[in-house]
Amino acid sequence: MITPEAFEKIYEEYTQNIANARKQDHPEAQIIHHFISFLERGFGIKAREIGIERSVRIAKIERKGRIDLLFGDLIFEFKRELKGKRIDRQQLIHYLEGLKDEEGREYTGIFTDGLIFEVYAWQGEGFEKVDRFQLGNGSLSAEEVRWRLDAYLFSQTNILPTARDIEFRYGSQSPTFRKARKKLEELYQRVKDTPLLSTWRVQWERLLIRVYGEDISSEIYKGPIKADELFLRHTYLSQFARILAYAALYDLPDTHATIEGVLNGKAFKSSGARNIGGGDFFSWVLMPDIKDDALELFFRIAQSLIVYDLSRIDQDLLKQLYQNLNEEQHELGEYYTPDWLAELVLREIDYQPNQSLYDPACGSGTFLFSAIKHLEARGLHGQQLVEHAVKNICGTDVHPLAVIIARINYLLALSQHLQGMNTTIEIPVYMANALSPVIQAQSKDSEKNTLPIEVPPLHNSDQPEYFRIPNTVAQNPDLYTDMIRLIEGLAKTGQKADDRFDENVREKYQAHKVTLTDTDLIHWRKNLELLKTLIEDDRNGIWAFILSNLARPLTFAQRRFDVVVGNPPWLSYRYIKNKSYQNEVKKAYIDFELIETNDTKLFTQMDLSTLFYALSQDYYLKKGGTLAFVLPLSVITGAKQHRAFQAHRRISRILDFEEVEPLFNVPTCVLIDDGNTPTATVPSARFSAKLPAQELPLSRAEALLTRKDGKHRFMDDQIRSPHYHTAFYQGATLVPRNFCFVVPQREGYGIAVMTDPDVNRDTKAPYKDVFLRGEVHDPYLYATLLSKYLVPFGYSKLHLVALPFILKDGRLIAIEDLTEFIYKGHNESGEWFKQAARKWDELKKSTDKKTFIERLNYHNGVINQNPLHPYKVIQATSGSNIAAFVLESESAIHQVKVRVPKAIIIDCTTYYYEAASREEAHYLCAILNSTVINKAIKPYQPKGQMGARHINRLPFEACEIPEFDADDRDHQALAALSQAAHQQIELLKSSGKLEGRVSTIRRKARQMVEKELTEIDTIARRVVSF
């Protein structure tokens, strides 16, 4: 086998040879010669396996052509230069069409100059370009080139399987997936209208509401992958995972009958694992009308696995493939845990072989896989490990595909230990909502003793029906399993609930020492009748599968675990569109004291991760047990929405991974509750590293990780500078910006204005590229400052805004009746605002009942301002570093050259304080811009993909800033330094150098006032307390 080092050398030689051949204008035959040599040396392909210049009939033009190179089902057409060459590309397509007509096979065509590869494949109605990649330009490493080419060649054998290799060969960009997806769509179209498939789809979509926060099949769903496409992707991956598992445990399936056994699960049942396949949402591929074609599809995929030595699996192979085929998960708060991090967490909490473990949102099963491997390394092997794992290492997830993948990974982790065992096992990973115990507690009294499982109606006009599982059974896993098997077996034979059924139910309750009530018996009779009806209506399909899973969280809450670990969903509340789910989550936030009932504005900023932490502490963790969750770092910063979480939830230790790259696209931490009582400061460990890849084993990652132990102090509720905190206000929400930010029309005159193109660049749909044109009179023109143009001690530019407000006696008054513009003789202005209001009503969300003026003046953000106040301190609401300046309204107005605004309105991207004097304003501005304040607030700033962000009023919460004292020399000195710094920034602006991106202009500003800032810091250290 060719080593990676040897391949890299061969690859470098090849790219150099091709470059030289092209430079010296060698014929195409020379390029073909170099490519064949590359295949021989780099991929072990024998020259005799390659067909050169094969003749093929081109039916459409009634002649024969010669294919440059043929390997397997690949046709290569070589040219010295690809630019232009439309006729040559068309000839390759003719070759592909000719072979399809002649042999009935769908070949893949590759048009190449030896470095650039364009791939053409059959797409239902013709051959189209489906892929393009380039060698030798640095876009792909040598290792990636090997994967990329071999995803087409499949030339390797007995290679060590890795998650990355699996992704290249079988992921969404692979030729294998493209062919399979096309075939699956064809099969789906043939059966999509059957009642059975409709049942599968409806239940699958309902479960995904918990994942995506909304109905993915609705017309208003804006996700990048629509429901039909996602269903096909999930089907492909679930069946591929089963095939991979079977091949790893036993051998490659060698017949269609074996493949059928793999897909329906019988092949696993006969070998000891009874809940790996069959009866789930993706069993539709075995429907009689399409089964033969589906078996042929998956048989071909199974044969391609011959490239791997599947006896050597030491990582979660399916995780990256799962992510790759679910492209929007990061947008929705699903971040999959790399193996090294899961291993590190288990080591940090000292997970022991005698402990039970539960992951309530297990995803693809990384923590479960790592837990098994961790115990294996601690000395558990064979039957001892298998029996301990299936009894004590458990997981749940609401995502139906995740559960299948997690079960497969779990089985793969145990694969070497199952050899020679005769025991039948059930993989303890279940498709269930870990929030179920909370939802049960929220239920009405009449439902509290049962777990209701809704069966959607067959027709929209019908009412839903319910299975009702008595809580006493839901909390007893063995009795629960027995009862589901009983009603499933009887329903399939058409048996009605009779005296014999009643007696059988009594016997099962007695065997498990559970008291049977008359109400329980009635529920089980109705459950049997409902299941029988579903079978008779051809709507059963998956109900036994659903029933056997959904009650598990109640069982686990009754049992409790020594260790609860995981990486729960980080889905923000604002992304939950489903009303029922919203209500459940909102009530749970309040019940767990994660938010106060009067803090309604913070609901949209909450996410599910803290809810899962609280849930696990209260429902699933044994007393004295250990909880360890991967969470966004923002939950331990000063973000207001997480203050209650920090105050009410026990946190014993913190692992901080903000400085580890690559990891997730937002800063990350691990919170640990090991039962120790927290103190004012929590022990923490900060890790840092530049890793070569996100997915690594801990053995490689730990050599690169550095660790620094310390303490973390949470932001408390104390306001250390109340005199300033209560007087700093956020500006007005001047949105949609395209309807109020204006510039004079270039071709216009006088009062003609149009939407400011500058703000359109940052505007999002549906308002982006909506431009208004019209006329606005001077009384309705104001200026504002966006925070991205704010720098320490100044700003780079102001914007004009047209607002339906009039300045009267120093206050702003809204003009809500547009006829007022006519009375004032400003008809044209009235038309502008009528146009803006009409566009707002047309484009706003259907749930938004606010008028255009109410949107602008949200929370009275406009009318509460005093635009004529002479001295205001303006501070950016967010940014990596704090920035503030003193706005002297009268002079600032005259810096707007195009039209003179009536006043300056503060925008919501900044906070403002109306100072009593110029000296107080500059004193406060100096302190806010100091390094002292900047460093003090850093630990409490919520952090996102771009680092620290929200500042808001943190300086007054974290720091004790004295009120201005005109007689205090330090206060006077700070005010003078601020005024000097403002003069320096004005000089920088007048020179034309205060331009560029926000980070650039703020850096330039700090450099310009470096001397003043140094002196400010010296004094601020004396003045400010913490």
- pLDDT of the residue at 59: 46
Higher pLDDT, 114 or 875: 875
What confidence category does residue 447 fall into, taking pLDDT thresholds of 50, 70 and 90? low
Determine the average pLDDT of the residues in 768-780. Answer: 95
Confidence at residue 401, expressed as pLDDT on a 0 to 100 scale? 85
Of 277, 300, 333, the last residue of a domain is: 333
Task: Say if 649 falls within a structural domain.
Answer: yes
For residues 148 and 246, membership in a common domain is answered with no
pLDDT tens column, 948-997: 578 889 899 889 999 999 999 999 999 999 999 999 999 999 998 998 88
Phi, psi dihedrals of residue 683, rounded to the nearest 5°: -55, 135
**Tens digits of per-residue pLDDT, 710-738?**
988 776 667 889 999 999 999 999 999 99
**Total number of domains in the chain:** 5
Q: Which residues does 996 contact at the CB level (< 8 Å), separation at least 6?
A: 1004
Backbone angles phi, psi at 639, to 5 degrees: -55, 130
Q: Are residues 30 and 80 in the same domain?
A: yes
Residues 883, 982: one domain? yes
CATH code for position 660: 3.40.50.150
The residue that leads in pLDDT, 218 or 893, is 893
Mean pLDDT over the full length of the chain: 85
Q: How confident is the model at residue 787 (pLDDT cuts 50, 70, 90)?
A: very high
- Residue 62: its pLDDT value, please? 44
CA angle at 554 for the pair 548 and 558, rounded to the nearest 5°: 125
**Higher-pLDDT residue of 547, 186:** 186
Which of 148-157, 554-563, 621-630, 645-654 has the lowest average pLDDT?
Answer: 148-157
Residue 13 lies in a domain: yes
- Residue 246 scores a pLDDT above 70: yes
Residues 976 and 993 in one domain: yes
- Tell me how long the chain is: 1026
Q: Are residues 733 and 661 in the same domain?
A: no
pLDDT (mean) for 172-179: 84
Strand 681-690 to 653-661 pairing: parallel
User: Residue 369: is it exposed, middle or buried by C-beta count within 10 angstroms (0-12/13-18/19+)?
Assistant: buried
Q: State pLDDT tens for residues 472-525.
A: 888 787 888 889 889 888 988 888 888 999 999 999 999 999 999 999 999 999
Residue 227 lies in a domain: yes
Q: Which of 94-108, 447-461, 634-648 has the lowest mean pLDDT?
A: 447-461
User: In this predicted structure, what is the pLDDT of residue 511?
Assistant: 93
Judge if 165 and 303 occupy the same domain.
yes
pLDDT at 333: 40
Give 999's pLDDT tier (boundaries 50, 70, 90): confident
Rounded average pLDDT over 537-562: 77
pLDDT of residue 708: 95
The segment with the largest mean pLDDT, out of 135-139, 319-323, 414-418, 835-839, is 835-839
In a domain? residue 464: no
Pair 96, 234 in one domain: no
Residue range 16-36: mean pLDDT, rounded = 84
pLDDT band at 771 (very low <50, low <70, confident <90, very high): very high
Query: Quick one: pLDDT at residue 120?
Result: 86
Higher pLDDT residue, 273 or 833?
833
Q: Which of 136, 156, 176 is the last residue of a domain?
A: 156
Q: How confident is the model over 905-931, as pLDDT tens digits?
A: 999 999 999 999 999 999 999 999 999
The answer to whether 31 touches 21, Cβ cutoff 8 Å, is yes
Regarding whether 761 and 898 lie in a shared domain, the answer is yes
Among 130, 156, 182, the domain boundary falls at 156
Confidence band, pLDDT 50/70/90 cuts, at residue 440 = low
Q: Are residues 866 and 889 in the same domain?
A: yes
- The least confident of 184-193, 310-319, 958-967 is 310-319
Q: How far is CA 435 from CA 348, 397, 482, 576, 608, in A?
A: 27, 10, 24, 15, 10
Quick check: 164 and 320 in contact, CB under 8 A? yes
Neighbours of 66 (CB within 10 A): 10
Whether residue 860 is found in the same domain as residue 1009: yes
Higher pLDDT, 460 or 322: 322
Note whether residue 604 is domain-resident. no
Rounded to an integer, the average pLDDT of 80-96 is 79
Contact of 820 with 834, CB cutoff 8 Å: no
456 compared with 687, residue with greater pLDDT: 687
Q: Are residues 152 and 166 in the same domain?
A: no
Q: What is the mean pLDDT of residues 452-480?
A: 76
Evaluate whether residue 763 is within a structural domain: yes
Residue 98 burial (10 A CB sphere; 0-12, 13-18, 19+): buried
Geometric angle at alpha carbon 133, from 129 and 134, rounded to 5° = 135
User: Which residues touch 503 (CB under 8 Å, ≥6 apart)?
Assistant: none
Residues 427 and 491 in one domain: no
Question: Best-predicted range by mean pLDDT among 68-82, 310-324, 593-607, 692-706?
Answer: 692-706
Percentage above 70 pLDDT, the chain: 88
The answer to whether the beta carbons of residues 537 and 600 sit under 8 Å apart is no
The pLDDT score that the predictor gives to residue 446 is 46
Q: Give the lowest-confidence range in 563-567, 647-651, 796-800, 902-906.
A: 647-651
CATH number of 69's domain: 3.90.1570
* Integer Cα distance of 429 and 273 in angstroms: 12
Residue 656 lies in a domain: yes
pLDDT range class, residue 329, cuts 50, 70, 90: very low
Residue 111 lies in a domain: yes
pLDDT reported for residue 460? 54
DSSP summary character for residue 649 = S
What is the percent of the chain with per-residue pLDDT over 90, rounded to a whole number?
Answer: 42
From 759-768, 843-852, 942-951, the region with the lowest mean pLDDT: 942-951
**Residue with the larger pLDDT of the pair 514 and 538:** 514
Domain containing 809 equals: 725-1023
Own/partner pairs, 89-95, CB within 8 angstroms, 24+ separation:
89/118, 89/120, 91/58, 91/65, 92/120, 93/120, 93/126, 93/127, 94/58, 94/60, 94/61, 94/65, 95/56, 95/58, 95/65, 95/67
> What's the pLDDT at 47?
72
Q: Which two tokens stand for residue 120?
A: 């053409």
The top-scoring range by mean pLDDT among 59-63, 128-132, 577-581 is 128-132
- The answer, yes or no, to whether residue 819 has pLDDT greater than 70, is yes
